[in-house]
Amino acid sequence: MTTVRLTAAQAMVRWLSVQLAEDGTRYIEGIWAIFGHGNVAGIGEALHGAKDSFPTWRGHNEQTMAHTAIAYAKAQKRQKAMAVTTSIGPGALNLVTAAALAHVNRLPVLLIPGDVFANRAPDPVLQQTEDFQDGTVSANDCFKPVSRYFDRITRPEHILTALPRALRVMTDPAECGPVTLAFCQDVQAEAYDYPESFFTPKVWKIRRPEPDAAELDAAIALLKSAKSPVIVAGGGVIYSQAEARLAAFASAHNIPVVETQGGKSALAHDHALNFGPVGVTGGAAANAVCEDADVVVGLGTRFQDFTTGSWSLFKNPARRILSINVQPYDAGKHGALSLVADARVALDRLGAALGSHRYGGANAGLKADWVAHTAAIKAAPVNGNALPNDAQVVGAVNRSAHAGTIVMGAAGTMPGELHKIWDAAQGGYHMEYGFSCMGYEIAGALGIKMARPQADVICMVGDGSYMMANSELATAVMMGIPFTTVITDNRGYGCINRLQQGTGGAPFNNLLDDAYHVNPSHIDFVAHAASMGAIAVKAADIAELEVHLARAKTADRPYVIVIDSDPGPSPAGGGTWWEVGVPEVSTRDTVREARVKYETSKSLQRLAD
């Protein structure tokens, strides 16, 4: 057996550089790195030696570096991924939130935090956490509940098994998610005679699981018995690259389609059978169709509470759930009839069985009414100097969009407004709403643009979420990667302020003016973004916003537009109940009234068929 002597870190980097996606390019496109005493000597030196064949990018925050990598994988429909390495201690733990985000959203990312010394000679080292009962524990054990696969590299030969296991999980459509390889810092630098065969290039193909025959027969029987089915399209449609199949299947059988946050843009907004967004942040048309449906076909959705109205949306007494998913855990939720299969394969098999069968479909007037409604609320204010609401800001951005635009967001007001009223071209919507992580937006926009360099990427972010994490704006400037960021400044957490009042609470600690402070808050977002090298401007009104949006499309670096907006209730309408626990006991009348409404709505929940 021919061998080559390398450090464990060198061997890892060399191996990663020859793992290929199905298109023949690197599956792990490169690695984000912030170096510290847990990874600079071992992994850092290995990456320096491979800088011409395996890119290393420097970020400004470990969490947001990982957000960029995750957004890249999402924009690549899970066909490719990135890696992230950090030092030990706080550098490593900054990744935990991002790991949870990837875990919830079923997105691949390879996390390689440095770890303590395997030999334990210098213990306790700087930043080492010590468990008084377990000598094997380090801070990196925090990754275990939010990793699909976790391993600790305590011997140089461990990578011979750990690395293939890592990529197997990342490329498995059912198990896909974050992998953590905690790499002991002394082991990174240790040498070993690795087999040359270990570094043979390998193509990782993503399986398309076929359905079980019995499950398929049951699903066909259920669909044939249906009178008014609806398809709830989730992110799995996009990851399966089943968009065209969905359009063909829906058209062939005249089945209305509604879209979750993850599934929005699986069909273009103007497809005749796309009845729009569903659930708490959904439109009136989609929710009306779902209330009447006798068979709810979940296609690649995990049926999050925002999709189901906390399981109060599907009101037909005869309703049944058919859940099509590659992950049995998701397919079997809430008493659903499971069809464990790839979305594209499942549509092919079901379509063949249904043949020319067509359903009565939904009332097309519902879609037309919702389209007219959203067009009206997105229009510019009649009084051009009026403080715009968020729907009007979204309308201006939507008017500037084209077939190559990808709008993105994550938390606060924007996910609700965008899901409800953004007219998305097919593939033109990217929302992180599984974890709804504040601070994902700027880093995520960078990742999307790296994955889709020809796209017109527009990041929609509120002032509160921008304040959470904005440092990768400087990274995007350094790398010369342009995208547009629209910051809506409503002076605080407007979305949660509305939820607080909607559940009977008084405005408190959400808007800046309702929080305790000695000095009034004044944050100059234009100056802040400009200080990081972005082009930054303030739009006085909607008309000025539209001017800047046009200019941003030709910018050679990030272009940030700040506009003040009204924190008050959205005019969008639609939506459905969402369960948020309201206190049973309160001295406040508004809370007691909200509790009565809560109990009434909760009585409509139906948790299983």
Residue-range domain boundaries for the chain: 3-203, 213-366, 379-564
Contact 561, 542 (CB under 8 A): no
Residues in contact with 445: Cβ distance below 8 Å, sequence separation at least 6, in sequence order: 71, 408, 457, 458, 459, 476, 483, 485
**Whether 81 contacts 28, CB under 8 Å:** yes
Q: What is the pLDDT of residues 473-523, one digit of tens each?
A: 999 999 999 999 999 999 989 899 999 999 999 999 998 888 888 888 889
Q: What is the CATH number of domain 3-203?
A: 3.40.50.970
Write the DSSP symbol of residue 270. T
CATH class of the 379-564 domain in this structure? alpha beta
Residue with tokens 């201690």: 89
> Given the structure tokens 């409800």, which residue do they identify?
420
Q: Encoding tokens for residue 130?
A: 């010590």
Instruction: Tell me the C-alpha to C-alpha distance, in Å, between residue 486 and each of 360, 380, 390, 550, 567.
Output: 42, 16, 11, 13, 16
Tokens of 535: 């082009």
Q: In angstroms, rounded to a whole number, what is the distance separating the alpha carbons of residues 571 and 568?
A: 9
pLDDT of residue 513: 87
**Contact by Cβ (8 Å): 68, 211:** no
The CA radius of gyration of the chain, in Å to the nearest whole number, is 25
Same CATH fold assignment for domains 3-203 and 213-366:
yes
Topology of domain 213-366, CATH:
Rossmann fold (3.40.50)
CB 188 within 8 A of CB 43: yes
Q: Compute mean pLDDT per 10 residues along the chain, 609 residues long, and list them.
A: 96 98 97 97 97 96 98 98 96 98 98 96 92 94 98 98 98 98 98 98 97 98 98 98 98 98 98 97 97 98 96 95 97 95 98 96 95 94 85 96 97 95 97 96 98 98 96 98 97 90 91 86 95 98 96 97 92 89 95 94 86
pLDDT tens digits along 369-407 = 999 999 999 998 888 778 999 999 999 999 999 999 999
523 DSSP assignment: -
* pTM for this entry: 0.97
For 133-176, the DSSP string reads S-TT--GGGGGGGG-SEEEEE-SGGGHHHHHHHHHHHHT-TTT-
* Angstrom distance (rounded) from CA 532 to CA 342: 44
Dihedral angle over CA of 301, 307, 311, 317, nearest 10: -80
Q: What is the four-CA torsion angle of 546, 266, 80, 346, rounded to 10 degrees? A: 180
Of residues 95, 403, 440, the one with CA closest to residue 261: 440
Both tokens of 417, joined, read: 């407004």
pLDDT at 573: 84
Q: Where are the beta strands (DSSP E) in 549-597?
A: 559-564
Peptide bond into 124 cis (omega under 30): yes
Are the C-beta atoms of 88 and 116 separated by less than 8 Å? yes
Give the whole-angstrom CA distance, residue 431 versus residue 454.
Answer: 19
Q: Is residue 241 exposed (0-12), middle (13-18) or buried (19+ Cβ within 10 Å)?
A: middle
Question: What pLDDT sits at residue 608?
Answer: 74
Residue in 43, 152, 147 with CA at minimum distance from that of residue 87: 43
Other beta carbons within 10 Å of 490? 24
pLDDT value of position 313: 96
Q: Is 317 left (phi over 0), alpha (psi -120 to 50) or beta?
A: alpha
Two structure tokens written together for 209 = 């699981």
Alpha helices in 235-342 (DSSP H): 235-239, 243-253, 284-292, 305-308, 328-331
Collapse the DSSP code of 575 into the 3-class scheme (helix H, G, I; strand E, B; otherwise coil) and give the result. Answer: coil
